[in-house]
Structure 1
């Protein structure tokens, strides 16, 4: 719990522009806080528009607000620095080489937590808040962070491809649907996605059923194999008994023949002996 509290304090005292602990912290009229130099630099770039905005909530201020150092935040930053809390404590929030980075962050960028298919922008947790808090973003479609957002933009008309042409099997934008794809079978991308997902569910169920049937077939085949094996063993055993009995009968027959031959020889010997005496 204590570690979670330290992480919360780190976020509280971090500047969303430079992402480091606040330096000469100032709080602007909307309630968000920044390093004095960071917000000054941000507003210097907007001076030509005569409108000065908050980098987080986009609220605008006219005229340019006067910046006053926040003593309370400055004391809080100093106290946390004494505990050894520094910029490295939040390194796991920063985007690495394999992460999708927030498109709004300046300087060292945070990891994106969501990408918006309407804005075609990826947002970190802080910069995503307006999508959750403002009704203007209610219909925006948020997805997992993606680096391929530009693939959703029509290369011809620079419009988000929110339509799908079933005739040509490709995603198109609204301008395409009334131009080169006019008269084609077109639906919204959301409708096509829903139908594909439904087809996928049905297909998955069929595959699972086929797998179950195959498993049943395998069990049947295994049982048949076991039955055949048992039958084969019984046949071998039976044949072995028959062969043993046949060998025994042949052996008895051989002995009978030998006895018969000996008996015949003895008879002939006796006969010749009698004849010799006569």
Structure 2
């Protein structure tokens, strides 16, 4: 019969576990954790900001000084454990897959929304069924991606291996076996790198399109204002012409009256 740990022991264990994942600078759970040469862990942004403010390269905990600024890299192992710990603190909402969303392949009955797809298992998992991939050593090596439908399309049709590379010559996705055969002499990059490049190009293209759209809108506004000014000018010219015409009519009527008056006076004198 197994003995249960006291409730106080469990809560203390949780408290200590959370403390182990806290950055001593921001006092929050690690974000992009890095390890200093003296072995202490900090958020990359926190230790970078600390050194910039102090103008001195030392560890905030043990105060060990470094002659030059250490070149730090993200501690991938600690980051993975930290992300798992964050998910346990704030587990994602488990809900049924909605139309257009990828369902979990393991759920029976009510299908929950998948949060990841595994390119090795060729299956998609909800958060609950993904847990072994975060815990079991052999499964943690599997390639996880954002949930996708028709995951078989991510396999090389020729070698039945995961498509992980992009061939720059043929502009297609290939697997590592392809680089040893048909694409042996071709230049290749990882799909992640090509994806980042395409996103950057798309961002630049979108910015250019926005600039062109703004330029066109500005031109349209200028044309609209020009048309309005012309309308106002034409209206003023029409009003001025009407005033001139009225003045001319008044002048003619006045001259006609003067002429009639002059004729009447001339007739009177002749009589």
In which range does the TM-score fall when normalised by the shorter chain?
0.5 to 0.7
How many residues are aligned here? 178
Which residue of 180, 184, 187 maps to 2:186? Answer: 184
Equivalent residue for 2:227? 225
Equivalent residue for 1:243? 245
User: CA 1:200 to 1:114, structure 2 compared with 1: closer, same or farther past 3 Å?
Assistant: same
Equivalent residue for 2:7? none
Correspondence 1:18-97 to 2 at 5 A? 93-94=95-96
User: CA 1:185 to 1:257, structure 2 compared with 1: closer, same or farther past 3 Å?
Assistant: farther
Runs of 5+ in structure 1 lacking a partner? 1-91, 271-278
Correspondence 1:72-221 to 2 at 5 A? 93-94=95-96, 99-105=101-107, 109-138=111-140, 140-221=142-223
Runs of 5+ in structure 2 lacking a partner? 1-93
Deviates more, 1:160-169 or 1:209-218: 209-218
User: CA 1:255 to 1:109, structure 2 compared with 1: closer, same or farther past 3 Å?
Assistant: closer
Q: Secondary structure at the match of 2:246?
A: helix
TM-score normalised over the length of structure 2: 0.55
- Distance in 2 (CA, whole Å) between partners of 1:215 and 1:145 is 40
User: CA 1:245 to 1:158, structure 2 compared with 1: closer, same or farther past 3 Å?
Assistant: same
C-alpha deviation, 1:202, in angstroms = 1.3
C-alpha deviation, 1:194, in angstroms = 1.1
C-alpha deviation, 1:172, in angstroms = 1.6
User: CA 1:202 to 1:99, structure 2 compared with 1: closer, same or farther past 3 Å?
Assistant: closer
Q: Secondary structure at the match of 2:124?
A: strand
Higher Cα radius of gyration: 1
User: CA 1:232 to 1:130, structure 2 compared with 1: closer, same or farther past 3 Å?
Assistant: same
Higher relative contact order (CA 8 A, sep 6+): 1
- Distance in 1 (CA, whole Å) between partners of 2:167 and 2:104 is 32
Q: Secondary structure at the match of 2:214?
A: helix
- Distance in 2 (CA, whole Å) between partners of 1:198 and 1:97 is 30
C-alpha deviation, 1:263, in angstroms = 5.0
